[in-house]
Structure 1
Amino acid sequence: MPPYTWRSLVQRARQLWRGSLQLRTVAITVFFSTIAVTIISGYMSISIATNLYDARKSQAIAEARQATVTTQDLFDSSVTPNGTIDVEAVNQTAVTTIRSVASSPGGTQFAILRTPGQTTAVTMTPRSTGGLDISVITPELRDQVAQDDGLLYTQAVSLDGEDALDPGLVVGSVFEVPTAGQYELYLVYNVRDVQQTLDFVQQTLVIGSLLLVATIGLVTFLVTRLAINPVRVAAETAEKLADGQLEERIPVRGEDVIATLGRSFNRMADSLQRQITQLAALSRVQQRFVSDVSHELRTPLTTIRLAGDVLYEQRDQFNPTTARTAELLHAQVDRFEVMLADLLEMSRYDAGAVEIDTEPTNLVRLVEESLEAIRPIAEERGSELRLVAPGGYFEAEVDARRIRRILQNLLGNAVDHGEGHPIVVYVDSDREAVAIAVRDYGVGMDAAQLERVFDRFWRADPSRQRTTGGTGLGLAIATEDAQLHGGNIDVWSVPGEGTCFRVTLPRERGATIDHSPIELPPVDPLEPVLDSGGGDDDA
């Protein structure tokens, strides 16, 4: 079995083509140069061939005309005063004369043929060069020559050569033999020398064209290498800067435009390094401040909690105003503890000091427990809770405490923004991933709100009364918890139609996922529930 299939080779070639600017530049230059050189070489070859053929044809016509005139003069001068002529003797002399006049480097053959259809008292014997195939003189050419209009006619033919057919040229004319009528003179020229010259010229043009294209390709490669190498260095340096290697710089040499680009890039990198360093230092100070303040607040908060609990337990002994104050103090201390816990959790994530303790967990059971915990609040708001779990590989390696915290946050948001409509929780999975989706049918969010829904301390509607409290850090912490498992949280929302948050996690710790078993939004199962005005709780 070959190591590479055609598809993989095509894919590798496509990646190489897309990834190399130098390759594309050289290939395009060579391609168009090849087309241009081919057109020019073809034009030159055709022009040279035409000129060589025309020159050889003109020479053949000139020789044929001279041979015809000489032959005619010979026969005319051989007539005796009494009007008689020795036709055969003159014919022999004419053959010698024709051979001396029509001599060509490639060899010249001739044929003297009687024009058909004549009736004369004397007939001259036709003559031809030994070995000449009379069939090369076509009937069409003989018909043209027999017209005796004073013109010479030519025709290109193929002649038998030593190893193969050679190109040839036949020139035909007529002359009058006294007492014997009209005869046709055909000179057959072998123009093998012209073809050899043309072959040599064409071979030279092909070799020269190939060398020219190769030279153009080499020069283009060298020029593009000089021009692209600095760009490649800049790209590699930019990649290193993007990876956090802020000390990387482009080496600068010379005073040309590339050097100017390098200096400008380095100044930009220096500026970015200073700003990123300042921002990183400020971020560390901020994180340290939040962490220190959160830790420092725990001690006085504990004291306040103890004092508040005492007052809260004895509120029945106070007057109504003082009792209400004790209740408010107790509620706000609870909210303050939640906020402090969230701040401490975010500071741990920012410091990279968070670890998870995973174990095989049945997510359906985990969701059922979370639903039972939120049920009293949901019933108070008039929202029905429903669980949709069609079946699958529900056990996954997760940190149950963190997944429970994600569910509590998503369910709390659904209750607060669900407007008393049903809340549906979906659980599904496949062999690679598990997913939980929480769907409400409340107010929903627009596109601008969706962009900020996971920001810290951001709320879609700060004025909305919340039943479950909240600090504005819940979704940010939920996102961190999901990413800590190697998963993610997606959201879908349409104003007036509700919101759906989907948590997707790998079934095995350390695995990667590229899909979710649940669509977003999931297939809506609430039509029968809404039509019937409620129903039994499947959770």
Structure 2
Amino acid sequence: MLGHTWRRSLQLRVVVSTLTLSLIVIVILGVVLTSQITDRLLEAKISAATEEMDRARNTVQAQLAGADDGNTLSSRLDGARASLSNREADGQSAGAAGTFDPALIVPGDGPLPPTVSGPADQIPESLRRFVQQGQVSYQFATVDDPDGYRGPALIVGSPTASDISTLELYLIFPLASEERSLSLMRSTMLIGGAVLLVLLAAVSMLVARQVVLPIRSASRIAVRFADGRLKERMPVRGEDDMARLAMSFNEMAESLSKQITQLEEFGNLQRRFTSDVSHELRTPLTTVRMAADLIHDSSDDLDPALRRSSELLVNELDRFEMLLNDLLEISRHDAGVA
């Protein structure tokens, strides 16, 4: 049923083809825009996070430099981390980078475990290797902090120049705000794409209807013309392609109508000629027939040559009479009498 409708409906094919191509274009544009916007958001996040790392590193180095050397390493790290947390709470670190959760790690010496402060278990080992080589690095990861954020995050790591030479500083920036922005953007693009598809469907249906209606009108008029209604013509409106199609159709119909009329007139003339000839020949043929029969009846009194001539005359008259009867039969058939 659907295949039959698809084959017979030009309007349906135009609308479906338009929507299919539009959907492909919208999807491609959506993917490209989403990728571009995501890249820009992450680039801005990385740039702001790197700047925040510079400020945090200076804060940690200043805090450790002013701390009492008699405190344990763990206490000193906790104090440095607290200074970062207090700085964030006071709004001094509020900026494009957003909130963060600091973590400080001092690797263990030999069999001793590392000394940490903060969610050190959320730091990827691959990122730590870069930081231990003296590089400021970053990595996207999924964090699951029991006391904090759960989800995707940007982790920036940096070595420090404090009296603790192996100290590693990490800032964990949640990407919740960026996720919400991207989710809102995707929802907006999805709704906008759906609305655009509906509008394109309406426009394509209207355009296809303007094209299909004259074609359907031409089809109906052609059917009526084939049924013998030779006066049927397409209405001509405007000067566009459809108007030229209507004019061409009407010219063709007019030419066919004239030819059909001429053929009908020629047929009538032919039938009248056949009828007239057959009737006009009937009377002289009857007279000649009577004379030939009379001669043939007296053929015994004639010499052989004349007797043979009379027989030939009768035979030819028989053939001529058969032809005349055929002509009469044809004329009756053409006239609708037979």
TM-score, normalised to structure 1, is 0.54
Q: CA deviation at 1:28?
A: 2.3
Amino acid at match of 1:286: Q
Contact preservation (8 Å) 2:142, 2:150: no
In structure 2, C-alpha distance between the alignment counterparts of 1:352 and 1:241, rounded to whole Å: 24
Query: Mapping of 1:350-365 within 5 angstroms?
Result: 350-354=334-338
AA partner of residue 145 (structure 1): V
Please tell me whether residue 69 in structure 1 is matched to residue 52 in structure 2: no
Classify 1:298/1:33 alpha carbon distance in 2 versus 1 (closer, same or farther; 3 Å). Answer: same
Q: Is contact 1:144–1:153 with CA below 8 Å preserved after alignment?
A: no
1:182 is paired with a residue whose SS is coil
Tell me, which stretches of 5 or more residues in structure 1 are unaligned? 1-8, 355-539
What is the rounded CA distance, in whole Å, between the counterparts of 2:14 and 2:159 in structure 1?
65
Counterpart of 1:57 in structure 2 is: 46
Supply the AA of the counterpart residue of 1:114. V
The verdict on how the C-alpha distance between 1:290 and 1:147 changes in structure 2, with shifts beyond 3 A counting, is: same
- CA distance in 2 between partners of 1:207 and 1:311 (Å): 109
CA distance in 2, matches of 1:62, 1:242: 84
Correspondence for 1:137? 123
Query: Contact (CA 8 Å) 2:299, 2:307: kept in 1 or not?
Result: yes
Q: Distance in 2 between matches of 1:29 and 1:40?
A: 16
- Aligned partner (choices 104, 112, 126) of residue 104 of structure 2: 112
Deviation at 1:191, TM superposition (A): 0.6
Paired residues of 2:138 and 2:154 also in contact (CA < 8 A): no
Q: Which residue number in structure 1 is paired with residue 166 of structure 2?
A: 182
Separation of aligned partners in 2, 1:15 and 1:312: 76
Bigger helix share:
2
Query: Residue 74 of structure 1 aligns to which amino acid in structure 2?
Result: Q
1:16 aligns with 2:9: no
Deviations 1:74-106 (A, max 9, x none): 223447xxxx45345533331122222466887
1:93 to 68, 79, 104: 79
Q: 1:127 aligns with which of 117, 135, 157?
A: 117
The superposition leaves residues 238-286 of structure 1 with CA deviations (integer Å, 9 ceiling, x where unpaired) of 3322221011122233454544553454455345434433432332232
Q: Which residue of 2 aligns with 1:460?
A: none
Name the structure 2 match of 1:288: 272
After TM superposition, give the deviation of residue 33 of structure 1 in Å. Answer: 2.1
Seen in structure 2, the aligned counterparts of structure 1 residues 45 and 314 have a Cα distance that, compared at 3 Å, is: farther
Equivalent residue, structure 1, for 2:195: 211
Residue from 336, 357, 364 that aligns with 2:320: 336
- Structure 1 residues 175 and 25 mapped into 2: Cα distance closer, same or farther (>3 Å)? same
TM-score (norm 2): 0.81
Runs of at least 5 residues in structure 2 that lack an aligned partner in the other structure: none
Q: Do the aligned partners of 2:105 and 2:117 also contact (CA within 8 Å) in 1?
A: yes
Shift of residue 47, structure 1, vs aligned partner: 0.7
Name the SS for the 2:167 alignment partner. Answer: strand
Which amino acid is the alignment partner of residue 223 of structure 2? E
Are 1:167 and 2:152 counterparts?
A: yes
1:315 Cα deviation after fit: 4.5
CA shift, 1:306, in A, is 4.8
CA offsets per residue over residues 373-424 of structure 1, 9 Å max, x none?
xxxxxxxxxxxxxxxxxxxxxxxxxxxxxxxxxxxxxxxxxxxxxxxxxxxx
Pairing partner for 1:243 from 227, 236, 249? 227
Task: Give identity over the alignment, percent.
Answer: 36
Matched, 1:147 2:133: yes
Alignment partner of 2:46: what SS?
Answer: helix
Using the TM superposition, give the Cα deviation of residue 194 of structure 1 relative to its aligned residue in structure 2, in angstroms.
0.7
**Alignment size in residue pairs:** 330
Structure 2 counterpart of 1:127, which letter?
S
Q: Which amino acid aligns with 2:61?
A: Q
Q: Give the 3 Å change call, closer, same or farther, for CA 16–321 of structure 1 in structure 2.
A: farther
Q: Give the Cα separation in 2 of the matches to 1:185 and 1:353.
A: 115
Change in 2 beyond 3 A, CA 1:107/1:340: farther
Q: 1:231 to 1:311 in 2, by over 3 A?
A: same
Tell me by how many angstroms 1:329 deviates: 2.4
